[in-house]
Amino acid sequence: MDFQYDLSFAQSLDANDALAPLRQRFLFPQHEGKPVLYFTGNSLGLQPKGVKDALIQECDDWAKYGVEGHFLAKNQWYGYHEAFAHGAAKLVGAQEHEVVMMNQLTVNLNLLLITFYQPQGKRRKILFECRPFPSDQYAFASQARLHGLEPSDVLVEMQPRQGEYNLRKEDILQKIEELGDELALVCFGGVNYFTGQLFPMQEITAAAHAAGAMCGFDLAHTAGNVPLQLHAWGVDFACWCTYKYLNSGPGSVGGVFVHDRHVKNKSLLRLAGWWGHNKDTRFQMGPDFDPMLSAEAWSMSNAPIFNMVAHRISLDIFTEVGMERLREKSIVLTAYLEFVLNAVQERTGQKLIRITPQDPEQRGCQLSVIVDGYDRKLVHTLYEQGVVVDWREPDVIRLAPVPLYNSFEDVFRLGQVLEKIFVR
Ligand SMILES: *Cc1c(COP(=O)(O)O)cnc(C)c1O
């Protein structure tokens, strides 16, 4: 598509965008009485309208029914998490018994590693992407120690080629092959939080399996950003958070995927609790753990209702719209952002170094940009102009135009603000 850097062009794209009205369903923070230009949906998604009423509903039901709310509440608390199975499965391309909502992301990653990181003999290495989210790396290291291993002996961080920001597919696949029978686990982010690179998950999974290793993904920046087919790709396990692209509020409940071939295996090692126990006999309160034949077997505690309310509303929006349509818009919206950044660079001479791949197949909606000569104060300067972006040390701003609620006009206006700042 031929883009233009002007307001009426951006507005015409919005006018032709069937998803544009979805924006009305979200609450935008205000700056000086006007909605901000919000580009940090990759960090904390906006609040869907209706969350407050839904929270009040649970408070009212608790007041009205007390313990009986487990069965009498409008949204029964007993089995509350089961209501997510359909939407979560659709979101990540899974069967309903392969997904469960529980805990939060890093907790879930650690729980899954208990099962899927089983170092044995020389097969004990964990391969992960360059510059993973630190929480993941801490989890890998702590799991190594749990097995009496020295993290520096078993953690393998993939490095890009000299002078490059992203990992090449052929290099990843080659590294997996090279590690061969020393490799216990490959665990990448689906989309890297820093560079915004989207990894070829299907091929990574196949390569890991060919090497005899397990393969899992942290989908914090992937779920709700790009379509996924975890079941068909044969991924062993995955986890994600719901407060970023999934708009479910700060610290909201996490999601877990465990492939069908594993959920049927009762003998897998896992940390157990009563909510993972066979539902039919759970309340006989017997001493022996009998795992459910679903991802729920990994959940230990009863559902944190208040931490799930917003997700119910948000996930319904994804189910209604579908990831394919969101992705279709997202590719164009991010391409427009790229075009606008190029225009700003051309007009102002300010160097804007993109570290996100140019190929839409290798990125989600986020663009990470090194703004040559600026430091983190730039984020505050932008905020004073009503623009919300975030900064990642040492020198990167991340911009995430989210197809659910960002418009082409937002992107154009961001360009205008940047131009004004850089021209000085
Ligand atoms: C956001 C993010 C986290 C945060 O972990 P929490 O347990 O939700 O605090 C972890 N890993 C990745 C890859 C992330 O992007």
| pLDDT tens-digit readout, 247-259 | 999 999 999 999 9
Tokens of 412: 């154009």
Cβ(84)–Cβ(99) below 8 Å: yes
- Ligand 1 centroid, distance to 154 Cα (angstroms): 22
- Ligand 1 centroid, distance to 131 Cα (angstroms): 13
> Residue 1 has what pLDDT?
78
> Residue 290 has what pLDDT?
94
| 48 lies in some domain | no
Rounded CA-CA distance 79/296 in Å is 11
Mark whether 79 and 190 lie in a shared domain.
Answer: yes
Tell the residue nearest (CA) to atom 14 of ligand 1.
Answer: 220
Tokens of 120: 């044995």
| Span 120-132, average pLDDT | 97
- Ligand 1 centroid, distance to 224 Cα (angstroms): 15
Could you list the residue range(s) of the whole structural domain that residue 246 is in? Answer: 55-321
Task: Specify the CATH number for the domain of residue 303.
Answer: 3.40.640.10
DSSP per-residue string spanning 233-251: HT--EEEE-SSSTT---TT
Q: Which of 273, 304, 321 is the last residue of a domain?
A: 321
Cβ(64)–Cβ(56) below 8 Å: no
Distances (CA, A) of 316 to 44, 85, 255, 306, 422: 18, 11, 15, 17, 41
Task: Specify the CATH number for the domain of residue 386.
Answer: 3.90.1150.10
| 50 lies in some domain | no
Summary mean pLDDT of the chain: 97
Mark whether 331 and 354 lie in a shared domain.
Answer: yes
Atom of ligand 1 nearest to the CA of 254: 8
End-to-end CA distance of the chain: 32
| 206 lies in some domain | yes
Structural domain tally of the chain?
2
pLDDT one-digit tens code per residue, 151-174: 999 999 999 999 999 999 999 999
For residue 144, name the pLDDT band (cuts at 50, 70, 90): very high
Mark whether 386 and 337 lie in a shared domain.
Answer: yes
List of E strands, 213-303:
214-218, 237-240, 254-258
Rounded CA-CA distance 223/221 in Å is 6
Mark whether 386 and 256 lie in a shared domain.
Answer: no
Mark whether 110 and 249 lie in a shared domain.
Answer: yes
Q: Which of 269, 287, 321 is the last residue of a domain?
A: 321
Mark whether 232 and 339 lie in a shared domain.
Answer: no
The percent of the chain in helix, strand and coil, each rounded to the nearest 5, is: 45, 15, 40
- Is residue 424 pLDDT above 70, yes or no? no
Mark whether 136 and 240 lie in a shared domain.
Answer: yes
- Ligand 1 centroid, distance to 179 Cα (angstroms): 27
For the chain, what is the radius of gyration of the CA atoms?
Answer: 22
pLDDT one-digit tens code per residue, 357-414: 999 999 999 999 999 999 999 999 999 999 999 999 888 999 999 999 999 999 999 9
- Ligand 1 centroid, distance to 65 Cα (angstroms): 36
Atom of ligand 1 nearest to the CA of 136: 11
Mark whether 23 and 60 lie in a shared domain.
Answer: no
- Ligand 1 centroid, distance to 221 Cα (angstroms): 9
Q: Which of 40, 101, 133 to mutate to test the pocket of ligand 1 (most atoms within 8 A of CB)?
A: 133
| 306 lies in some domain | yes
Mark whether 12 and 99 lie in a shared domain.
Answer: no
Amino acid, res. 121:
G
| 135 lies in some domain | yes
Count Cα atoms within 13 angstroms, Cβ side, for 68: 5
Percent of the chain surpassing pLDDT 70: 100
pLDDT one-digit tens code per residue, 273-323: 999 999 999 988 889 999 999 999 999 999 999 999 999 999 999 999 999
- Ligand 1 centroid, distance to 269 Cα (angstroms): 24
Mark whether 139 and 233 lie in a shared domain.
Answer: yes
Rounded CA-CA distance 76/99 in Å is 20
Cβ(335)–Cβ(356) below 8 Å: no
Cβ(197)–Cβ(366) below 8 Å: no
Cα 380 to its chain centre, rounded Å, is: 26
Nearest CA among 209, 207, 206, 230 for reference residue 218? 230
pLDDT one-digit tens code per residue, 210-242: 999 999 999 999 999 999 999 999 999 999 999
List of E strands, 2-67:
26-27, 30-31, 34-35, 37-38, 47-48
Atom of ligand 1 nearest to the CA of 106: 7
Q: Which of 321, 353, 370 is the last residue of a domain?
A: 321
| 281 lies in some domain | yes
| 42 lies in some domain | no
- Residues with Cβ within 6 A of ligand 1? 104-106, 133, 135-136, 189, 193, 218, 220-221, 241
Cα 320 to its chain centre, rounded Å, is: 19
Cβ(279)–Cβ(292) below 8 Å: yes
pLDDT one-digit tens code per residue, 19-48: 999 999 999 999 999 999 999 999 999 999
Mark whether 126 and 208 lie in a shared domain.
Answer: yes
CA triplet 83, 110, 77: central angle to 5 degrees? 25
Tokens of 222: 């992937």
> Residue 393 has what pLDDT?
87
Nearest CA among 7, 11, 9 for reference residue 20? 11
Cβ(314)–Cβ(246) below 8 Å: yes
> Residue 229 has what pLDDT?
98
Helix (H), strand (E) at residue 52: helix 51-65
| 403 lies in some domain | yes
Q: Which of 102, 106, 109, 137 to mutate to test the pocket of ligand 1 (most atoms within 8 A of CB)?
A: 106
* 3-class state of residue 187 by DSSP: strand
- Ligand 1 centroid, distance to 133 Cα (angstroms): 7
Atom of ligand 1 nearest to the CA of 241: 8
Mark whether 194 and 157 lie in a shared domain.
Answer: yes
